[in-house]
A and B are shown apart, each in its own frame.
Chain A
Amino acid sequence: MLEKTIIEQLEAVAGKENVLTGKVDLVAYSYDATADLPRQVPDVIVLPTSSEMVQQIVNLARTNKIAIYPRGAGTNLSGGTVPLKKGIVLSFQKMNKILEVDAANLSAVVQPGVVIAALNSAVAPHGLIYPPDPGTVATATMGGSAAENSGGLRGLKYGVTKNYIMGMEVVLANGEKVRFGGKTVKNVTAYDFSNLFVGSEGTLGIITELTAKLIPAPKFRRTMMGVFKTLADAGNTVAGIIAAQVIPATLEVMDRMTIRTVEDFAHIGLPTDAEALLLIEVDGVSEDVVRAEAEAVMQVVTANNGDLKTAETDQERDQLWTARRNALPALASLNNTVVLEDATVPRSRITDMLIACEAIGKKYNLTLGTFGHAGDGNLHPTILCDKNNQDEMGRMHKAVDEIFQVALSFGGTLSGEHGIGVAKMKYLGDELGQSGLNLMRSIKESLDPEYVLNPGKMVPLREV
């Protein structure tokens, strides 16, 4: 419990209506979308409405050695917003204004609480889009997704959040506010601060404003689905599409387990004897180019023994997407705990990774389905288990350990888009080695020596 005087000071800074301390409030901010993590209630939730307010709160917290946990919509999948050390949850839901849409400079300036979909609605009349599209676009905030460097389905062609953040305002742990970057395409002034703070998961500073890059919305698209009898055929198709010099906007894969589960769940006529399914979408501003790309993709699918389906209308496109859209809901319906990983491998190792995940599921006698972004090597091995079954939860933990080991052995990485948070912190050394861990710690401690900002995430706390 914080002293009453601290709460009063917070109320004086943020206004009484923006400081929440009720028992129910505390429970409501004690978790995020990560499975298999214990909840932890904070001492207080503060909803700032300006960056000056954030500075004052940071100063108050640092002086009194209170942890601060910045939070957007709390939809991350790595425990990034769980207030492990209690303290203050800083919720940015009320800093949700789009400050400027500058079509001439293909950019927008937003407060961190703006929901990604809201930005896209605001720029759509200008014929523009903000491309990063994590599964949570309709809820996740710009600040949260920048802090987590979230990806999405369009990563292969359009990149991820870090490719679209041009500038920022950040409040540092020492209470100073710093602005860098801006609307210019080129900017090599000083260190590349944007790329330091994007993906820092709130451990280095608190994002209070963002300048986002926009691009013209693609005008044409074609959607196709290929169903394969062997994983090798599917893997060769992915390689073949890239070899044909087509970069699809979407290139999604589902394994046998996922296909069967989706079919049982949604009855959409998927062949349950198939080993893999690819959903492919090409898009662009030129109809001719899009058509040519679609034809090239169709040839590759057919040449690799794929059963091809194409969509001519929006309705047909929607039908093709139904399978992919239902992947997570269908798997999730199998049990009460959904452990969704995002181990990522070089594209050329996708087939190996799918085979390895299936084998790991069998080895530990777990229900495991894999789907994900085949185009960029980012897979979602998903384990469905019963939180009340200790033995099964134990086997699940072992399986997750092994999935990461395999991904790293293929030259891959622990996390393609969900981040490290608490959930994957213990594996960091496996990928970075001791020198990498040392670098992490020296960056953390140079910016936040007292571990005020999101303590217990990314960089382990020092043993006292």
Chain B
Amino acid sequence: MAVTKTYHDDLAIIREELDKCMKCGNCMAVCPVYGADKVETAVTRSKITVAEAVLDGELELDDPQVSEMLFNCLVCKSCMTNCPTKVNFDRIMLALRAALVRKNGLPWLKRMIFSTIKHPKLFDAGLRVGAAMQSLVFRGDKSGKAISPRSPFALVGSGIGFDAERQLPGLNVTPLRERVPTVVKVNRTAAKMKVAFFTGDSLNYFYPDAGMDLIEVLTANDIEVHIPKEQSCCGVPVLVHGDIDTVRTLARNNLDTFDKTGCEYLITGCGSCGGAWQHDYTEIMAADPVYGPKAEYWAKRTYDISTFLTRVIAIRPPKGRVERVVTYHDSCHLKKTMKVFAEPREILKSIPGITFKEMTAPDTCCGSGGSYVLSHYDTSSTIGRKKIEDINRTKADTVSVGCPACMMQLFDNVHRSGEQQEVVHYISLLAESYRREQVSSSVSR
């Protein structure tokens, strides 16, 4: 039924993008996968050369080596920030992966998972079963905040990092969107404005506390928050696996759902989700007469929470003291897609008590790449270890970040090679400051 035809639907469209590459090799300086693997097949310009060879018929797209190379990429877009001729490599990668899915279909496991994501209720039910079952497979730590695989599962999973050392966020039994009403009103005063909050799956299922903090920060700034229950996954995890049909289904549902809120701003707390709304939806819907304009409408109205607080409204200055030494990791999709990097730092530096320490190369990828960490655990760990070395050198006790996928990766890696630093969403530190304000003011009263 889709009338769209973009590079997601026809690999030949991507030729123009391939032609822009001079093979200068500047991507080698920044590609985290190349930095870890040290072979040309890992780096962007060679992936482009291989794509040319596929289009010229020299290599087959579904040759196992070709597809293996295609998926050995974090889609972190680091190469794009260092590319003199501005090759949109993310488009090339997505076009290739989509073409591969068109040619061979999805592998059964991905097919099963993605079809569930398309049906939010089923996905929700699945994760609830997961939440209930996790005590069988994982053991909790003392704080109850983290889980690790239990021994038989740890043995099976050791190749992909699911060894007994692996720390993952616990699946919360009550997801974020069930903890809050569809509309969260402002206490006491009249709301200045109303905004819609796109939670994304990670904040909904894995880090609902951070999601609650985000809502709390908005209401503390007299903003009414709409959290429509019908919203689904943003689609990025599926997009990077080339399942374009599913992404379009998800995007249409999300666009319709948020149209109904009547809000003028859409707030995200995840760089991948925000990037989907700001860029991916307009690209996948480019030729769709109905959803194309809808996607354009929301692309202009999507803000990371930090940008909204500091650029759209005047943030209420935090007054509660938070005694922490904090560093900040730039998530790839937050910095490289949404161009958000100054705002979270401004917020952190405005919180009384926080000593802010910049790490070396804060915008180097942490190696998460969504499911990359599962499929390429060794490379991912090599990249993650380097990140943790940079973090350790700051002597910070808290690592703040603006993207849940990075939170998961850093959480696991500070446990393995770090100094047990606390990993938090930066918005939680702001919420903490606001809460301490109330405590100290009630004491003084």
Q: Mark A19-41, 1 if CB is under 8 A from B, else 0.
A: 01011110111111101000100
Question: Is A400 in the interface zone, CB < 8 Å from B?
Answer: no
Question: Hey, which chain B residues are within 8 Å of A30, CB to CB?
Answer: 49
Report how far A74 CA is from B24 CA in the complex, Å.
9
Question: Is B86 in the interface zone, CB < 8 Å from A?
Answer: yes
Question: Is A94 in the interface zone, CB < 8 Å from B?
Answer: yes
Report how far A74 CA is from B23 CA in the complex, Å.
9
Question: Is B22 in the interface zone, CB < 8 Å from A?
Answer: yes
Counting chain B CB atoms within 10 Å of each CB, which of A23, A39, A333 scores highest?
A23
**Pair B29/A138 contact, Cβ less than 8 Å:** yes
Question: Hey, which chain A residues are within 8 Å of B46, CB to CB?
Answer: 27-28
Contacts A31-B49, A39-B49, A139-B26 given: A25-B19 contact, CB under 8 Å? Answer: no
**Pair B26/A138 contact, Cβ less than 8 Å:** yes
* Partner among A28, A91, A336 whose Cβ is within 8 Å of the Cβ of B49: A28
Q: Mark B31-45, 1 if CB is under 8 A from A, else 0.
A: 000000011110000
Question: Is B59 in the interface zone, CB < 8 Å from A?
Answer: yes
Question: Hey, which chain A residues are within 8 Å of B25, CB to CB?
Answer: 33, 73-75, 136, 139
User: Could you tell me the distance in whole angstroms from the C-beta of B321 to the nearest C-beta in chain A?
Assistant: 34
**Pair A329/B38 contact, Cβ less than 8 Å:** no
Q: Mark A351-385, 1 if CB is under 8 A from B, else 0.
A: 00000000000000000000000000000000000
User: Could you tell me the distance in whole angstroms from the C-beta of B58 to the nearest C-beta in chain A?
Assistant: 7
Question: Is B50 in the interface zone, CB < 8 Å from A?
Answer: yes
Report how far A115 CA is from B24 CA in the complex, Å.
15
Question: Is A399 in the interface zone, CB < 8 Å from B?
Answer: no
Report how far A73 CA is from B69 CA in the complex, Å.
19
Q: Which residue in chain B gives the minimum CB-CB distance to A333? A: B85
Q: Which residue in chain B gives the minimum CB-CB distance to A265? A: B86
Counting chain B CB atoms within 10 Å of each CB, which of A25, A27, A45 scores highest?
A27
**Pair B23/A33 contact, Cβ less than 8 Å:** yes
Question: Is B28 in the interface zone, CB < 8 Å from A?
Answer: yes
Q: Mark B42-77, 1 if CB is under 8 A from A, else 0.
A: 000010011001000011000101101100000000
Known: A24-B69, A27-B46, A332-B22. 14 other contacts (CB 8 A): A22-B41, A22-B65, A23-B65, A25-B39, A27-B59, A47-B39, A74-B40, A75-B24, A91-B39, A329-B84, A329-B85, A332-B85, A336-B20, A338-B22
Q: Which residue in chain A gives the minimum CB-CB distance to B43? A: A28
Within 8 A of B (CB), among A78-133: 91, 93-94, 96, 115, 117
User: Could you tell me the distance in whole angstroms from the C-beta of B180 to the nearest C-beta in chain A?
Assistant: 44
Question: Is A328 in the interface zone, CB < 8 Å from B?
Answer: yes
Report how far A22 CA is from B69 CA in the complex, Å.
11
**Pair A31/B23 contact, Cβ less than 8 Å:** yes
Q: Which residue in chain B gives the minimum CB-CB distance to A340? A: B22
Report how far A115 CA is from B31 CA in the complex, Å.
14
**Pair B39/A136 contact, Cβ less than 8 Å:** no
Report how far A48 CA is from B41 CA in the complex, Å.
17
**Pair B22/A333 contact, Cβ less than 8 Å:** no
Within 8 A of B (CB), among A286-344: 328-329, 332-333, 336, 338
Contacts A33-B24, A33-B25, A328-B84 given: A28-B41 contact, CB under 8 Å? Answer: yes
